[in-house]
Structure 1
Amino acid sequence: MQLQVEIPDTFWSLFRSVNREIYIEALLCINDEYQYSNYFLTKEVCIQVLSDMNARKRFELKAEESETESDMMETPSSRILSWLLKTGWLKRIEDYHSLVTNIVIPDYSAVFIDAFERLNSDEMEETDIYIQNVYATLFSFRNDPRASLSMLRTALVNTRRLNKALQDMLHNMDKFFARLLEQESYGDLLREHLDGYVEEIVRKKYHILKTSDNFYIYKMDIKKCIREMRENEEWIENVRRCARAMGDTRDDVLELLDLIDRGFDDIEHRISNMDKEHTKYVRATVTRLNYLLSGESDTKGLVVQLLNRIAAGGGEDELIQKTGEKMNLSLVEMLSEKSLYKRRRSRKDFISQMAADAETKELNKEEVLRLNRIQMRYSKEEIEEFIEMHMEGEIMDASKMVIKDKEEFEKLILAYDYSTRKNSRYAILEDEPELVEQNGYRYPALRFVRRGV
């Protein structure tokens, strides 16, 4: 809160300025030289740094509302430095001993410059930095007798920062879905996926969590360290005694360990959610690619284009009427594999169908075994021989046969089963045969013919 009080009102004008990007770039360049020169720059060095920046980028500096005509006559480097000093982003310190004007970066300005660097940096990701910090802090706290509870609080802060970094990563997934839908061609979509999502998420962030197993290597050791500290009651009491001696009674060591442990459980859940979002994005990308490939030839793709055109332009009623005159939108292949409308049966038919299903009895175990024995009793050659024996010309008519015993009746059943298969040499004429009763057997008057006849 103390730094916020020191910020002048003109400080915030940078974010409203027409030259905002130029000023931010200038601050980053000055900060790089500032660190290299041991955090002390003369006015001349700042002018030279800004001149080099302008020579590389060739900025077009526009006029600010607060600038006068005399300000506009200065060089771009001097104008940038003067504006940053006037608004409080930089501070001037006069060294009267050496008669030199030094430029320094105030503390509150350094906070924002650090944020600008993080927004433009491709360095090590936060997920990697925080997990290493937690790992190092916990092991130092456990093995260093001079360690205090402040180290444990530092580990908790980094655990929460890691959780927030993962949550921010998860929340930023929606922008990739939005960019996915904006692409209108196959090449643009593939470029967006490879240069956008794969580069920004998979290789820089998701890769750290999954591929390199960086998080999981440290996680198991951290969990083990926390468990060992909890179980060591003598060590816990010693930490509490040292904390009381130092006057640090705000938190208990077990409470802090529980919070860190719970934080790592939350990290597991966020990584699981990240896996789901990653799977959804890949599936959406593949679906979008397939649509762009077949959108002009596939029926559903054409229907989608038609609906989008109706929704985009005016006169929807007229377009719908013309569409209805030219197209049958209720075709099965246009909507789904199932029919659009299925006529419902009457209540009487429904009740009779239920009664018929209730009367149908399932085969018991003995009947199933008996059917299996019949199936395996005769070979395919024996069934074909039975059909050929009873053929007259090219047709075997079951109504003209004389079934004498159980064996012939079983062969007739298997002949029918054999004739319904694709690789069978025989087929059944498509009729509605009558039932034949003789010698105590009842069977349909089937007619068998050779295939191709």
Structure 2
Amino acid sequence: MQLMNEIPDTFWSLFRSVNRDIYIEALLCINEEYEYNNYFLTKEVCIQILSDMNAKKRFELQREENDTDFDMLETPSLRILNWLLRAGWLKRIEDYNTLVTNIVIPDYAAVMIDAFEKLNSEDASETDIYIQNVYATLYAFRNDPRASVGLLRTALVNTRRLNKALQDMLHNMNKFFAKLLQQDSYSGILREHLDSYVEEIVWKKYHILKTSDNFYIYKMDIKKCLREIRDDEAFIMKVQARSKMLGDNQDDVLDLLDLIERGFDDIEHRIANMDKEHTKYVRATVTRMNYLLSGETDTKGLVVQLLNKMSEEPEQMEEIITETGKRMNLSLLEILSEKSLYKRRKSRKDFISQLLPDETTGDLDKDDILRLNRIQMRFSKKQIEEFIENNMEDEVMDASKINIADEEEFEKLILAYDYSTRKNSRYMVLEEEPEMVEKDGYRYPALRFVKRRV
């Protein structure tokens, strides 16, 4: 709170000013030049920067409440500079040796200007920067003989920042759903999707996570590094001793490792939630397009419009129904049938029923019963578990990625699904609608097997 105590009361007047946008733009221009001049600017240079800014964008500076008639006679550049100095966003320092007035940016103002820059531009990818920082910090901690607990704290800070960046991405998805519902034309939805959602989310944020795979490139290496550090007790004791000698023994190494690992689990959950939101938005876009295309041509669209009309005018609902009944037969089967207004989702089919064609079969004879029993008893429980374990990658066995080379492998896959449905099974199938896979003459659903949580 030390910087908060230094902020003058006039500092917050910028957010209430009628020229707020102009002042923020001026601060960004001055700060850009400020960084490339050894953090040292004269008053004349600031006026020249503001003059160039005004020449490019032609701002219309309005009168402030505390402006005097004398202030109104000054040039726009000098008026902006004087106002920022009075408000405390800039600070004047007189150099009496050279008789020059220097302009500096106070520490508290620098923090706010940095926030303005982040709001004004999204050129840098935070997700890319932070995951690389975590990887580099942990690698340095593991291999640098001078490493201390401070490096682990730095890795934890960057892990939390990455989580925060992903959480912001997830929460900002709501505004795109709201914009989608506001569109009332096919071209408007297409423009909103391509110019807004694809540009801001897919290419700038979601694309970085899923296409460049920056998180997944470093994830396994980071987890391996954390595991090696945790297993090396001698190294941990040496780091603790070095940190204690340096007076930095506030945190325990194992506690920091637990927090970092927990942060990476949160990152994976948030990325999974981003996948769900992305899929949900694409489905909503397609549904909205289909509705606008067929809203006035089919019975379903007309009935939906009728229901919307009733909800908008509830006091005239009886009158609307009466008038509608005179012109439209509401008892038609096409209207009353649930298939017209609502399409019920199909229930999840059984695994075996997806493998076999839907056809009526007679009673099983003796040979068929013996063959089915032979498949059930051919492999033991241990063999089925070994089959699942051998085909797991990152603790997930994806049936679409394994190679079914013969009848034996195919039977093991069938029995693996049967085993996963039992209560005492060590594995379970993720709840989702799998697609069908056809490989090497075999056809089966792309199920994903994971270990069952106790």
TM-score (norm 2): 0.73
Indicate conservation of the 8 Å contact 1:180/1:192, yes or no.
Answer: yes
Give the drift of 1:339.
9.4
What's 1:329 paired with?
Answer: 330
Q: How does 1:3-402 map to 2 (within 5 A)?
A: 3-312=3-312, 316-317=316-317, 318-337=319-338, 365=364
Aligned CA distance change for structure 1 residues 78 and 331 (closer, same or farther; 3 Å): farther
Alpha-carbon distance change, 365 to 50 in structure 1, aligned in 2, over 3 angstroms? closer
- Counterpart Cα distance in 1 of 2:309 and 2:11: 49
**Residues 330-380 of structure 1 deviation map (CA, whole Å, 9 limit, x = unaligned):** 43333544599xxxxxxxxxxxxxxxxxxxxx98656999xxxxxxxxxxx
Cα distance in 1 between the residues matched to 2:49 and 2:105 = 15
Distance verdict in 2 for CA 1:332–1:45, change over 3 Å = farther
The question of whether the paired residues in 1 share the 8 Å contact of 2:42 and 2:102 is answered with yes
Contact 2:4 2:108 in 1 (8 A): yes
Change in Cα spacing, 1:325 to 1:49, as seen in structure 2 (3 Å) is: same
- 2:375 maps to none
Alpha-carbon separation, structure 2, partners of 1:22 and 1:98:
32
Deviation at 1:287, TM superposition (A): 0.5
Deviation at 1:310, TM superposition (A): 3.6
Between the aligned partners of 1:368 and 1:336, the Cα distance in structure 2 is 46
SS at match of 1:18: coil
> CA separation in 2, counterparts of 1:217 and 1:226?
16
Preserved contact between residue 39 and residue 104 of structure 1 (Cα < 8 Å): yes
Q: How far is 1:197 from its partner?
A: 0.8
Matched residues in 2 for 1:248 and 1:58: separation?
Answer: 55
Q: Alignment partner of 1:219: what SS?
A: helix
Q: Which runs of 5+ in 1 are unaligned?
A: 341-361, 370-453
> Aligned pair in 2 of structure 1 residues 363, 185: CA closer, same or farther (>3 Å)?
closer
Deviations 1:49-100 (A, max 9, x none): 1111111111111111111121112111111111111100000111111111
- Check conservation: 2:334, 2:340, Cα contact below 8 A: no
* Distance change >3 Å, CA 77–CA 241, structure 1 → 2: same
Q: Structure 1 pair 151/294, CA: closer, same or farther in 2 (3 Å)?
A: same
- Give the partner amino acid of 2:76: P
**C-alpha separation in 1, matches of 2:62 and 2:252:** 57
Aligned residues: 348
User: What is the letter of the counterpart of residue 135 of structure 1?
Assistant: Y
Q: Is the 8 A contact 2:23 2:80 kept in 1?
A: yes
Query: Per the alignment, in what secondary structure is the counterpart of residue 103 of structure 1?
Result: strand
Letter of the 2:147 partner, please give it: A
C-alpha deviation, 1:123, in angstroms = 1.7
Instruction: Quickly say closer, same or farther: Cα 1:335–1:100, change in 2 above 3 A.
Output: farther
What one-letter code is carried by the residue in structure 1 that aligns with 2:326? E
Q: How far did residue 170 of structure 1 move? A: 0.5
Q: Secondary structure at the match of 1:195?
A: helix
Larger radius of gyration: 1
For 2:137, give the aligned amino acid. T
CA distance in 1, matches of 2:141, 2:108: 32
Q: Post-superposition shift, 1:212?
A: 1.0
Decide whether aligned partners of structure 1 residues 367 and 129 sit closer, same or farther in structure 2, where only a CA change above 3 A counts: closer
Hey, what's the Cα distance between the residues in 2 that align with 1:181 and 1:128?
A: 32
- In 2 relative to 1, CA 103–335 (structure 1 residues): closer, same or farther, beyond 3 Å? farther
DSSP-derived class of the 1:93 partner: strand
CA shift for structure 1 position 299: 1.8
**How far apart, CA to CA, are the structure 1 residues paired with 2:338 and 2:367?**
36
In 1, Cα distance between equivalents of 2:134 and 2:105: 31
Identity %: 75
> How far 1:291 moved relative to its partner?
1.1
Instruction: State the alpha-carbon separation in 2 of the partners of residues 337 and 188 from structure 1.
Output: 31
CA distance in 1, matches of 2:272, 2:326: 51
CA distance, structure 2, for counterparts of residue 208 and residue 145 of structure 1: 34
> Which residue of structure 1 lines up, in the alignment, with residue 432 of structure 2?
none
The code of the aligned residue for 2:271 comes to I
- CA change 1:331–1:14 in 2 (3 A) is farther
Deviation (angstroms), 1:220:
1.1
Bigger drift between 245-254 and 313-322 goes to: 313-322
Evaluate the alpha carbon distance shift between residue 60 and residue 319 of structure 1 in structure 2; reply closer, same or farther with a 3 A threshold. Answer: farther
CA contact (8 A) 1:91 1:106 kept: yes
- Contact 1:332 / 1:338 at 8 angstroms: preserved in 2? no
CA contact (8 A) 1:132 1:218 kept: yes
Across the aligned residues of Structure 1 and Structure 2, the Cα RMSD in angstroms comes to 2.1
Name the CA distance, whole Å, in 1 between partners of 2:60 and 2:97: 38
Deviation at 1:269, TM superposition (A): 0.5
Q: In the TM superposition, what whole-angstrom CA distance separates every residue of 1:180-219 from its partner, at most 9, and x where no partner exists?
A: 1111111111111011111111111111111111110011
Query: Is the 2:126–2:162 contact (alpha carbons within 8 Å) kept by the matching residues of 1?
Result: yes
User: TM-score, normalized by length of structure 1?
Assistant: 0.73
1:437-452 equivalent positions in 2, closer than 5 A:
none
> Aligned-pair distance for 1:304?
2.3
Return closer, same or farther for 1:367/1:132 CA change in 2, 3 Å cut-off: closer
SS at match of 2:60: coil
Q: Give the C-alpha shift of residue 309 in structure 1.
A: 3.3
SS in 1 for 2:119: helix
Unpaired runs of at least 5, structure 2 = 342-360, 369-454
